[in-house]
Amino acid sequence: MTDSRREFLKKSALLAAASAASSSGLSQLLPTEPEEGELLYDYVIANGDVFFERKFQKLFVGINSFGKLKISATPLKGQQIIDATGKIVSPGFIDILADNSSNPEETYLTFESYKVTDGVTTALQLHGGHHKAASYYRNFNKKSHYINWGVSTKVMNIRRNQRSVKSRLKIIEKNLAYGALAISHSIEYQPTPYSELLEYGQLAYKYQRPLFLHLRYSSKDKELRGVLEAIKIARDTGAHIHIDHLNSTGGTFNMPKALELIREARANGLKITTCVYPYSYWATYLHSKRFGDGWRQRYKLDYSDLTVVGTGEKLCQKRFTELRSKSGVLVAVPEGTMPLAQTVDLAIKEDFCLIGSDGGIERNSRANNHPRGAGCFATAVRHFQDIGIPLETILYKLTEAPTTLLRPALMRRGKLKDNYRADIVIFDKDKINGAATMANPNQFSNGIDYVFVNGEIACKNKKLKLLNGRQIKIQAAKVN
């Protein structure tokens, strides 16, 4: 390179820097020329409050052409410089309880678009998942994505198709051997004998994968029995049990006692975790067993308390009966049914409690999905800050903590660290919030400026970009 050319590039970089300093918001600078022997990164994020080693530090974050990270206390050279002044630079959020299992081939891009705009860089379907993990991974690996993705083996579908426990176990083991991340089952929606649950727990232990459970009971007088059953499975099998959304199933009415039971079990060496979502109301399908005989007495609710999500329609007994005969109609109970101060706010203070959306948006118009499918993580960051939980604590639960549940599948993710995957979200801690509502779940979250997935910009100010050419599936190691 000639001296004149080098001088021109340096002057160009200085001019770009001056321009960026005088402008508001995030800016991109022109490429800068590295010194002899100095690396030139694809992107450098500068001037932000970087969440590094569980605290905020003024550091420079470099992203190389392989989508890997470099964290530095001194400036780095980059082809594009992102000025993150006044912003938080965090690892991307990890959703362990994403849900898009009904028709993923048709809906996955819509589902992923609402995840990435909520700061989620990895959405793992460990509540529903898929009953044919091998074909799922093969088919979806051919597609372009917005985010990292992965699935569990969905027991409910397997049980519908296979009459014997032996044949069910054979398929589940085949899925685990291929790399399904967990075993998932919803005992309330599909009641299952304890002896069969033990078989699933034993397989989970054998393959060292978690068993994700939607508990058997959700009523005030029985919900703790579900927590005790999960603890018993952990004790009898040695498996890691993850209790899905404890705030809506297991701890809705008795959260302090539910947390006490889990705390004691963990103190006795059992592996149990749980998660919550930051909303005070639940939603589920009218055709499910949750709305079986006696539901009004169980939940102290009536027909008029139910709202069809996405339309706002209030139900009466006649309309309830009409819609219950159909599949796929999601209704929500009133806000405040699960008071946050008595459920979520208590649970999130426990080390063993994570955040999981238990949702996903399936259609771009008139989505019949709980708002948590679009705004769970931005809402969590906003709500927990508002009640005084340190942002460092919140971010740890959204990023690094889930990786400890799914080792080694999530190795080199969930932290900003040299040579880790560049999954990053840049956001304004004062403006971040979910925008999705019960009347209109189809709204991107606010306050999120950039989302990087494997080193590529997947979302910038709510504008999306499909990722191509970088492997982004998350699966466990295959077992021969």
- Quick one: average pLDDT of 411-440? 96
pLDDT at 21: 35
- Quick one: average pLDDT of 209-226? 97
Of residues 362 and 366, more confidence is placed in: 362
pLDDT at 258 over 90: yes
- Quick one: average pLDDT of 160-188? 97
C-alpha 205/C-alpha 142 separation (Å) is 31
To the nearest whole number, what is the mean pLDDT of the chain?
Answer: 91
- Quick one: average pLDDT of 160-167? 97
Q: pLDDT per residue over 432-470, tens digit each?
A: 999 999 888 999 999 999 999 999 999 999 999 998 766
pLDDT at 289: 87
- Quick one: average pLDDT of 414-422? 98
Sequence-ordered list of residues with C-beta below 8 angstroms from that of 36, at least 6 positions apart, any chain: none
Q: pLDDT per residue over 82-118, tens digit each?
A: 999 999 999 999 999 999 988 899 999 999 999 999 9
Strand order in the sheet with 77-83: 69-72, 60-63, 40-46, 77-83
Of residues 221 and 439, more confidence is placed in: 221
- Quick one: average pLDDT of 242-261? 98
Of residues 478 and 92, more confidence is placed in: 92
Q: What is the largest CA-CA distance in the chain?
A: 83
C-alpha 171/C-alpha 359 separation (Å) is 26
Q: pLDDT per residue over 274-326, tens digit each?
A: 999 999 998 888 999 899 999 999 998 999 999 998 888 999 999 999 999 98
- Quick one: average pLDDT of 63-78? 97
pLDDT at 22: 33
Closest CA to 54 of 453, 400, 349, 419: 400
Lowest mean pLDDT among 4-18, 179-193, 214-228, 347-361: 4-18
Q: pLDDT per residue over 8-50, tens digit each?
A: 334 344 333 333 333 333 333 333 445 545 689 999 999 999 9
pLDDT at 366: 65
pLDDT at 35: 52
pLDDT at 149 over 80: yes
Question: For the chain, what percent of residues have pLDDT higher than 70?
Answer: 91
> Residue 205 corresponds to which amino acid?
Y
Task: Give all domains of the chain, ordered by start, each with its CATH number.
Answer: 3-86 (no CATH), 92-282+338-411 (3.20.20.140), 284-332 (no CATH)
pLDDT at 351: 97
- Quick one: average pLDDT of 337-342? 96
pLDDT at 261 over 50: yes
pLDDT at 6: 42
The sign one gets for the Cα dihedral 131, 135, 139, 140 is positive
pLDDT at 122: 98
C-alpha 48/C-alpha 51 separation (Å) is 9
C-alpha 255/C-alpha 337 separation (Å) is 14
Q: Which residues pair with 456 in a beta bridge?
A: 453
C-alpha 89/C-alpha 85 separation (Å) is 10
Question: Dihedral of the CA atoms 170, 175, 181, 184 (nearest 10)?
Answer: -50
Of residues 332 and 204, more confidence is placed in: 204
pLDDT at 311: 82
Query: Given pLDDT bands bounded at 50, 70 and 90, which one contains residue 421?
Result: very high
Neighbours of 362 (CB within 10 A): 23
pLDDT at 101: 82
pLDDT at 2 over 90: no
Burial 75-111 (b: 16+ CB within 10 A, else e): ebbbbbbbbbeebbbbbbbbbbbbbbbeebeebbebb
- Quick one: average pLDDT of 409-437? 97
Q: pLDDT per residue over 270-288, tens digit each?
A: 999 999 999 999 888 899 9
